Structure 1
């Protein structure tokens, strides 16, 4: 015999009606919870993630009535992540994305964050805000994501590694929105946090982190300041102005001076065979090959030489993260269009 079909949405409505208070009749919450969980599993099997999410929203509401904050918190997170899955599936299938779904997703994450924060779960609260910001960013809501990523960074001051990851994602979001000055600040904070907390900053994961910080900071400084040259004379004038600018931090001045053509001329005067101690400069976190490729790219951008910039970009692309690739590509496009930022 074939299985009798039950309209899942009608089942949902019946369960919901059973939990409403009626005259002289107490709702059977235990039965409703079991039915909601069963229905949620059915919706997930059918890849109806948004309906499964609403089941967990109702489960969380019942646990709130029962004063069970732990289960309420758990199911709010389940609902939020199912809403994310629904949005991702809509984006993948190029179907219309419901703004209401995005709003309910934010509401679930924020309620879960509030619950765990009130129980002194500051680290978890920060993780949830960062997770929400990251999800919104991936779904194309960078402006919305910004406030949650910023909030996550503040809450994650209690844990070093989570804070580093949150700062990196915040900087990426700021670059996407064209907030280059803010992105520089986030990268500087990322670098300073790592240097302060890590016993050996250049060991293990720190080596790649410092490399990413150096490359992204130089690219952002050039992108933000219009540090693009069309002649050797202008190059020297701009370098002098930048080095004397009071608002430029000592670290920024050092980074810009490392990748100025003055160092390129010194390089040409040296022996053709350079040891690792001579090149790159001792203050750089890059390897010899990485430094040479990045240095040549920056000089090509400064001179407005699009062809060379593209060549060196291809060479250095394997060790660039997504954010650095985006900024470098923007610099090449600007150079091609008008020769200056």
Structure 2
């Protein structure tokens, strides 16, 4: 109790020094240093939520000093401290109203805004991703989506970073069972990778862009098999994807070039098995496909088999 009182008295002492007095200008720079020191002390004492409040006070001082980078850093420190407090509460299953999480999101959002105002777009995007991943780790993929989407907007001039963020948006949509939304995002990713990842000599995607296209293609096919859209409701771009697997493979097939012939033929077999509702063949294909797919894709394939084995209703 005495230690708590000592911390509170120090905080009040610094705050009092910053109050405007007649003919005396407060030393805001010194106040900022004192709040930073107090925040460091509280972190060492494993009191992240109180350290967060001190960082917020420091951010206000930096704002008064018109120090944008300093304000953004103090806000970021506050956000991380509040998030640490929220994670600690979750780890011990402590009931609450998520007040630390709310404070953290507000601080992250404010820091991002300050970075954008100061033309530090890369820093703003980095914080948007950091917040998105933190929410995802708290099993809140639905809330994380908006922050990952914000990161994609901020990274529009950096195709690979933009594609990485879009990939996590698709993951979150799959986790929240928004399969149509995930399909739309993956289609957007495929167009972007085709458009921005081409070689200047051949115009065809190269390097990491081929890996992204392969991942998008496999996941899109599995989502289409899961959704089973009717011919009347399927979108033209999705119909075009399925048409790729309805014809014999040729050397000019660009899909084969970045998927590899073996994986392409396995996917072609999956599409045919789903269209003929041949569950036994699909289960056999699952064994061959398993090593070639990501955990997420294997889970989707499992859902496809479940849906065909026990159909819940008509096609979407």
Per the shorter chain, which TM-score range?
Answer: 0.7 to 0.9
Deviation sequence 1:261-305 (CA, Å, 0-9, x none): xx5xx69xxxxxxxxx77x95533312332243334444444444
* Cα contact 1:152–1:166 (8 A) shared by 2: yes
Question: Which stretch of the first structure deviates more once superposed, 321-330 or 161-170?
Answer: 321-330
| Equivalent pair of 1:57/1:76 in contact (CA under 8 Å) | yes
Matches within 5 A, 1:124-143: 124-143=123-142
Residue 331 in structure 1 maps to residue 304 in structure 2: yes
Cα deviation digits, residues 160-184 of structure 1 (max 9, x gap): 2221111111112222223323222
1:54 is aligned to 53
Deviation at 1:68, TM superposition (A): 1.9
Query: Following superposition, which runs of at least 4 residues in structure 1 exceed 6 angstroms of deviation?
Result: none
TM-score scaled to structure 2, two decimals?
Answer: 0.81
TM-score of the superposition, structure 1-length normalised? 0.75
Question: CA-to-partner distance for each residue in 1:39-60, whole Å, 9 max, x for gaps?
Answer: 4334434444333333322221
Alpha carbons of 1:37 and 1:191: their partners in 2 closer, same or farther (altered >3 Å)? same
Tell me how far apart the structure 2 counterparts of residues 257 and 190 of structure 1 sit (CA, whole Å).
Answer: 19
Equivalent residue number for residue 11 of structure 2: 16
Shift in Å, 1:186: 1.3
- Aligned residue in 1 for 2:288: 315
**Alpha-carbon offset, residue 30 of structure 1:** 4.8
Structure 1 residues 111 and 322, CA, compared in 2 at 3 Å: closer, same or farther? farther
Tell me how far 1:197 sits from its aligned partner: 1.3
SS of 2:255's equivalent in the other structure is coil
- CA contact under 8 A between 2:28 and 2:64: conserved in structure 1? no
Q: Describe the superposition over 1:176-226 as per-residue Cα deviations: whole angstroms up to 9, x where unpaired.
A: 2233232222112111111111233543222221110101111222333x2
Q: Partner of 2:310: helix, strand, or coil?
A: helix
Aligned residues: 305
In structure 2, the gaps of 5 or more residues are none
The answer to whether the 8 Å contact 1:168/1:187 transfers is: yes
- Corresponding position: 1:248 with 2:251: no
Deviation track 1:299-328 (CA, whole Å, cap 9, x = no partner) reads: 444444445434433433334334423422
CA RMSD between the two structures? 3.2
> How many angstroms apart in 2 are the aligned matches of 1:309 and 1:71?
57
